[in-house]
Chains A and B, each alone.
Chain A
Amino acid sequence: MAEQTIPQTPNLRAVAIGVSSGGVRALKILLGALPEDFPLPVLVVQHISPEAGNGMARLLDNYCAIRVKEADEQDEVRPATVYLAPPNYHLLVEREGRLALSADPPVSFARPSVDVLFESAAEVFGAGLVGIVLTGANFDGAAGVRAIKAHGGLVIVQDPADAETPQMPAAALAAVKADHVLALAAMPALLRRLAAATAPRAEAADA
């Protein structure tokens, strides 16, 4: 059935999520519905106060079945793990699939910035990247989804009508033709289907 609904799924390698205001609630719904053994790594940029500490990672880790941790530099990107960008640092991906942090100036008024994560992840994972833009009050992520599409990746955007704050998803939709536009509540099922369609092939490629 998965093959019918999602034809020619490329080998997915990672999911990247960008979210701003309304993020805690949205991440609880989305990440909370992912299984402990979700076969892809999940990279998350949430706009957050520079002095927020690492409380968000702990809160989500307690709440979700899938493991959630704050990203550390040099972390190897592994499946079944959610990496949350630390407050006041950009999160990037290196070629060899390790995470990097940067204290470069804010991009799109944000640090961490969704654009920075999406652009670097798009270069590394190419067509194997799924980018998701959720609720938010600005336009961060719009340049990022353009990069994801340019590298052949998949873009999923929360239906602005469903978003607590619609600007960020609307900006993403204005930037590219998204592959899926849907309500937050429908996203976990889509992600599981995408992951299931890709998992066996990913294993075959590794063997």
Chain B
Amino acid sequence: MTPVEVEDVEIRLLLEGVQQVYGYDFRDYAAASIKRRLTQWLAESGFDTFSQAQSRLLRDPELFFSLLQGITVNVTEMFRDPSFFKALREQVVPFLKTYPFVKIWHAGCASGEEAYSMAILLNEEGMAGRYRMYATDIDEAVLQKAAAGVMPMAEMQKYTRNYQKAGGKASFADYYTARYDRAILSADLKQSIVFAPHNLAADAEFGEMNMVLCRNVMIYFKPALKERCLDLFDNSLLSGGFLCLGLKETLEKRKMSARYDELVAGTRIYRKRYG
């Protein structure tokens, strides 16, 4: 066996142990990315090998939580892919407005950047008070961060640019208060968002959704887990509801694709058919 193969074995053993001891299941995560994240954690941890780290990891929850942060890190930004948010505003919101109230599931929301982007967009389109967004993530620490709604001030310039490109109608600075190096998002944006833990690998669907967003989360999953997620989303969505994926994620070649139409080619916004 080559050293690379030995390390792959160590990682499989570690993920197996983590699942049994802590209940977090990363065995269905695509290997290349998770290895990169684990290797980075290992380099910072001071352990020489995963086998060496494993003994401590399985006994020391605090050490495990540092690993968990490393594995689940999902970096995103406000109005990531402005063209997507523009399409949402122009093509999807007109449909949503026809309902008295809409429910949205944002799966894998990480620290909330995209959830808050959605709230800004919906409020600007006159839907304030007419929606509830369930923003979920596997990592409870990151959800606390999301619920706090505090962003690094250094990112605001980029977010402002994204917002404008996404068809933003106001001044982006109206949505936050600068405090030293942090931007505190306006409380109105939080009113309709419920942050809650949810594990895509183990938990059940959310019923009766008008929209499900899950962008750049499933790219980290092996095909079987990806299929599980798509089934969850399909079962959660009402007919006429919208499924929004990352720009490099597609329903092509998926079983459920027969029930969905892409709203505008390339946006990865799919609408579930009636009947």
Q: B219 touches which one: A51, A101, A123 (CB < 8 A)? A: A101
> A79-98 toward B: CB 8 Å interface, digit per residue (1/0)?
00000001011001111000
Grouping DSSP codes into helix (H, G, I), strand (E, B) and loop, the A interface class, with mixed when no group exceeds half, is loop
Q: B33 touches which one: A72, A86, A92 (CB < 8 A)? A: A92
Is B255's beta carbon under 8 Å from chain A? no
Knowing A95-B8, A116-B36, the reply to whether A104 touches B82 (Cβ < 8 A) is no
Is B186's beta carbon under 8 Å from chain A? no
Q: Determine if A102 and B219 form an interchain contact, defined as CB atoms under 8 angstroms apart.
A: yes
Is B240's beta carbon under 8 Å from chain A? no
Q: Determine if A103 and B32 form an interchain contact, defined as CB atoms under 8 angstroms apart.
A: no
- Nearest B residue to A73, CB-CB: B219
Knowing A74-B223, A151-B4, the reply to whether A104 touches B37 (Cβ < 8 A) is yes
**For chains A and B in complex, what number of residue pairs have CB atoms within 8 angstroms?**
59
Is B51's beta carbon under 8 Å from chain A? no
Interface size in chain B (residues, C-beta < 8 A): 27
Knowing A74-B223, A86-B248, the reply to whether A104 touches B75 (Cβ < 8 A) is yes
Q: Which residues from chain B contact A126 at a C-beta distance below 8 Å?
A: 2, 4
Q: A72 touches which one: B35, B83, B165, B248 (CB < 8 A)? A: B248
- Nearest B residue to A91, CB-CB: B32
- Nearest B residue to A93, CB-CB: B32
Which among B32, B74, B219 has the highest number of chain A CB atoms within 10 Å? Answer: B32
Is B41's beta carbon under 8 Å from chain A? no
Chain A proximity of B68: nearest CB distance (Å) = 16
Q: Which residues from chain B contact A105 at a C-beta distance below 8 Å?
A: 73, 75
Q: Which residues from chain A contact B220 at a C-beta distance below 8 Å?
A: 102
Q: Which residues from chain A contact B4 at a C-beta distance below 8 Å?
A: 123, 126, 151
Is A119's beta carbon under 8 Å from chain B? yes
**Contacts of B249-265 to chain A: CB distance below 8 A:** 249-250
Q: Determine if A100 and B2 form an interchain contact, defined as CB atoms under 8 angstroms apart.
A: no
- Nearest B residue to A70, CB-CB: B248
**When chains A and B are docked, how far (Å) is the Cα of A104 from the Cα of B36?**
10
Is B53's beta carbon under 8 Å from chain A? no
Q: Which residues from chain B contact A73 at a C-beta distance below 8 Å?
A: 219, 248-249
Chain A proximity of B146: nearest CB distance (Å) = 17
Q: Add 11 more A-B contacts to A51-B165, A92-B33, A104-B33 (CB < 8 A).
A: A88-B81, A88-B247, A89-B219, A95-B31, A102-B33, A102-B36, A103-B216, A103-B246, A104-B75, A119-B36, A123-B4
Listed by A's residue number, 9 A-B pairs whose Cβ atoms lie within 8 Å are A72-B248, A92-B32, A93-B32, A95-B32, A100-B30, A102-B219, A103-B76, A103-B246, A104-B73
Interface residues of A (CB under 8 A from B): 51, 72-74, 86, 88-89, 92-95, 100-105, 116, 119-120, 123, 126, 151
